[in-house]
Amino acid sequence: MNGDNGAKTILMVACQALPRPGRPAAGGGLRTWGLGQALEGRGHRVVYSVPRDCLEGDEASGPLAEFAHSVTDINEVAARAGAEAVLFANWGLTAEADDIPLPRVVDVNGSLILENYYRGHGSLLGDALAKMKGLARADLVICGSEAQKDYLTAWGLVSGLEPDKPPIEVVPFSLPPQMPEHRLPDEPVLIQAGYEWPWLRSGELLAAVGRMLDRLGRGRLEVFSGPPPYSDALPRESSAQDQVGSLQLEEAPRVIRREPVAYDELVGILSQSTAAVDLYAPNPERRLAFPSRTVVSLWCGLPVVTYNQGELAGLIGRYEAGWLIETAEGSDAGALERIIEEIVSDPDAVRRKSDNARRLVVERLTWERTVGPLDKFLRQAARTKKVSPVLEELEQQHRELVRLNEHHQRLVASHEKLIADHEALVQSQERLGAELKAIEAARERLASDNELLSQVHRRPKGFALFGSRQLFWRHSRRLLVGLPVWAYLFLLARTSYLLFGWWRRWGRV
């Protein structure tokens, strides 16, 4: 315990890398870091536990390495850190980590189920059960907006949270009250910064902004983006292969494509720009989102061009801290074109909206204004255990479904093996048939050769010689050739005999 005021040692279990000098950061890492900084400002001792896979270079032996986690060892990490409470950056971590006998907070800033749906990861049913498990293990759930709280209340009821007082508190993404100084550049500079996740699909809209700037002959659009990085502690949530999320942006004279930059460098760039654009294809995920990229732009003094979708857009409209496009006009370039023309041609309107953006942040989105509910809970937190009959029934049905699915997979594998064996037998039969045909052809050739030899060497019997003209002439030729030879041999033998007799008779004299 850190003193008598209720301050505690809090283990912040991150699912992404935290912002650090020289390296880009994703929104989840910024959110966890911001909550930790806010709690430190309230007197708590904060220990960060980042995924071990996120450590790079010297970080592997630096301060973050001491309490880095591999998901399943969070219990041991919490013990080493002397934690008195644990905050999980998403429900996926608490659903897979060992049960920890400490008060636990689960941060649900957005809908991971919708994100996974657009990324093509996992299954809706599997994610739903994992989410309910994570919420059931939470003593407090925090989220980014009232809309998210309404969304999570229904999930909480089936997860075992009490219906009359669900432990869900709104803690929006926030930043420190010390805001950077904003300065308008001489030429209008529009910025869109953030990874191009698969549910955004902003390439065509950004290209349209570039064409508008080209027609107006002033200003430029700088896009700091790239394919989503590996940014999750759970291997199956890896975004390294999310090629669908890569920003396809056509080249244009006034559009500059840049790689993502480190958070501190991005803040410096935003503080010297004209306006931010947060354009995307409107979708259910964006209706629930409270985008960190938009809050950072407002904090830097940039009015934002975005769709009138989600709670943050409502605040931007109420404070006149930017320009909103109605989602019904998403396919109409007229509204966007009027906005871009105003940004380029009316610096006074930009300054007015810039001041409003800073006022919005000061009044609604700084740490000391947002972290109160989380700080209050942690000072008096106690571990509770909740069991949801609905969740237990769903888990049982899910286990049965998994068993049936595994049985089905085994049947499919067996069927595929039978098909493969059948195809192998067919191929073997075809091969044996071809070999049989070759043997038959060889037998026929041998029979033909044998018949020919038989005809050549067969001797005619009786009068068969005179019954075939061909045989007659063939044997006549043999007779005509053979008689002289036989006659010569006979004379030679007879002469030899006479000479021998003469020698015997006269040689003795």
**pLDDT of 178 above 90:** yes
Q: Do domains 9-174+377-386 and 189-365 have the same CATH topology?
A: yes
Reply yes or no on whether the pLDDT at 245 is more than 70.
Answer: no
The model's pTM is 0.73
The structure tokens listed for 336 are 């966007």
Higher pLDDT, 24 or 231: 24
Q: Does the domain made of 9-174+377-386 have the CATH classification 3.30.70.370?
A: no
Average pLDDT over residues 91-95: 80
pLDDT band at 84 (very low <50, low <70, confident <90, very high): very high
User: What single DSSP character describes residue 301?
Assistant: T
Residue pointed to by tokens 């709670």: 311
In angstroms, rounded to a whole number, what is the distance separating the alpha carbons of residues 132 and 394? Answer: 10
Structure confidence by residue, pLDDT tens digits, 322-365: 999 987 544 566 889 999 999 999 999 999 999 999 999 999 99
* Residue at 397: amino acid letter: Q
Mean pLDDT over 410-438 rounds to 90
pLDDT of residue 502: 80
* Amino acid 509: pLDDT: 46
- What's the start-to-end Cα distance of the chain, in Å? 155
pLDDT the model gives residue 460? 54
Among the listed residues 266, 259, 94, 109, the one whose alpha carbon sits nearest the alpha carbon of residue 173: 109
User: Closest Cα to residue 113, out of 288, 303, 328, 346?
Assistant: 288
Please tell me which residue, 172 or 405, carries the higher pLDDT value. 172
* Lowest-confidence pick of 185-189, 343-347, 451-455: 451-455
Least confident of 99-108, 143-152, 481-490: 481-490
For the chain, domain boundaries: 9-174+377-386, 189-365, 388-485
Confidence of residue 384 (pLDDT cuts 50, 70, 90): low
| Alpha carbons 249 and 218: distance in angstroms, whole number | 20
- The pLDDT confidence band at residue 235, using thresholds 50, 70 and 90, is low
How far lies 84's CA from each of 162, 219, 298, 373, 440, in Å? 24, 52, 35, 18, 88
pLDDT, residue 371, reads 95
Q: Indicate if the pLDDT at residue 237 is higher than 70.
A: no
At which residue do the structure tokens 């019997």 appear?
461
Is 214 or 202 the better-scoring residue by pLDDT?
214
Does residue 298 or residue 283 have the better pLDDT? 298
Residue 490: pLDDT band by 50, 70, 90 thresholds?
confident
Starting at the earlier edge strand, list the strands of the sheet with 9-13. Answer: 45-49, 9-13, 85-88, 104-108, 140-143, 168-170
Residue 40 pLDDT class (50, 70, 90 cuts): very high
Identify the weakest region by mean pLDDT among 45-49, 252-256, 364-368, 465-469. 465-469
DSSP state of 229: P
**Structure token pair of residue 506:** 């006269």
The two structure tokens encoding residue 385: 């255990």
Residues 89, 14: contact at Cβ < 8 Å?
yes
Could you confirm whether domain 189-365 is CATH 3.40.50.2000?
yes
CA atoms of 276 and 222, how far apart (whole Å) = 10
**Which residue did the predictor score with more confidence, 351 or 28?**
351
pLDDT above 90 as % of the chain: 41
Q: Is the pLDDT of residue 1 over 50?
A: no
Inter-residue contact 385 to 129 (CB < 8 Å)? no
The per-residue pLDDT for 67 is: 93
3-state class (DSSP) for residue 97: coil
Handedness of CA 71, 290, 255, 251 (dihedral sign): positive
